[in-house]
Amino acid sequence: MKLQEKIKSWCKDEKFMSFAQERARKEVCEVAENHRIDPQYEELDEAFEYDDRYFTDQYQGIPEGGYNRLVEKLLEGSTVITSLSYQKLIAAFPNVAGKIIYSGAIDQFFDYNLGRLEYRSLQFEEEVIEEPDFQGQAVVNYCDEETPYTRIIEHKHFAGQQSRKTVITREYPEDWRPGKEPYYPINDERNMELYRKYLELAKDYPNIIFGGRLGEYRYYDMDDVIAAALEMARTAIKE
């Protein structure tokens, strides 16, 4: 069954509608009516099991020491300038490189002159618990309407850390507006049409590679975005 038809069938299922959180019902059932399915929903499927892993891939893991250490190693020996907009950087160093990778929002690059692309956002609430374990798993989802957050993440379980305390993060869904962190692109027809128009403008900048969730206006898991970055680098080197 095609994903769009599967989602439509879920939206007619009383068990699904009673189980799914109000916001999830709204998002999932609305996306079923779009001509384009948001890539994040490709992961949707029925699951009746006790697999407590974050994903279902056969091989899973995170960098030893976390992603911060990975990025630090990647940037070792490089000049890093932060808290400076791309436009100001190029104005100060017009010949900084022959090829430039831009991973910011593509509409922001063009100063939103065709309009703003839309996203869904999140709000995070962290808490230090004076106990060695809070929930026994890295992630527990909450689908009832009474609970305002959608999941709790207990970070130590990702890497099997041992400690007398634990840190949890509650994740709340939030409507995006300018100034909020853009997490999930809304790949409906209106936004995709606007994105295609920005892609046309990007053709005037052949030395700039637009990449990542914001630059490509698409949902990526970490493994997918790393694979895409490596392929993008191979293509750039050949050119």
Give the total number of structural domains in the chain.
3
Interatomic CA distance for residues 160 and 168, integer angstroms: 14
Q: What are the contacts of 188-196 at 24+ separation with CB within 8 A?
A: 188/31, 188/34, 188/36, 188/38, 189/34, 189/35, 189/36, 191/117, 191/118, 191/217, 192/36, 194/107, 194/114, 194/115, 194/117, 195/106, 195/117
- Residues 112, 196: one domain? yes
In a domain, 162, yes or no: yes
Interatomic CA distance for residues 10 and 33, integer angstroms: 13
In a domain, 138, yes or no: yes
- Residues 134, 28: one domain? no
pLDDT by residue for the chain (239 residues), tens digit each?
Answer: 455 666 667 666 666 665 555 555 555 555 555 545 555 555 555 555 556 666 778 888 888 888 889 899 989 998 888 888 887 887 777 778 888 889 999 999 999 999 999 999 999 999 999 999 999 888 888 877 788 898 999 999 888 889 999 999 999 988 889 889 999 999 889 999 999 999 999 999 988 999 999 999 999 888 899 999 999 989 888 87
In a domain, 31, yes or no: yes
Domain containing residue 155: 120-175
In a domain, 199, yes or no: yes
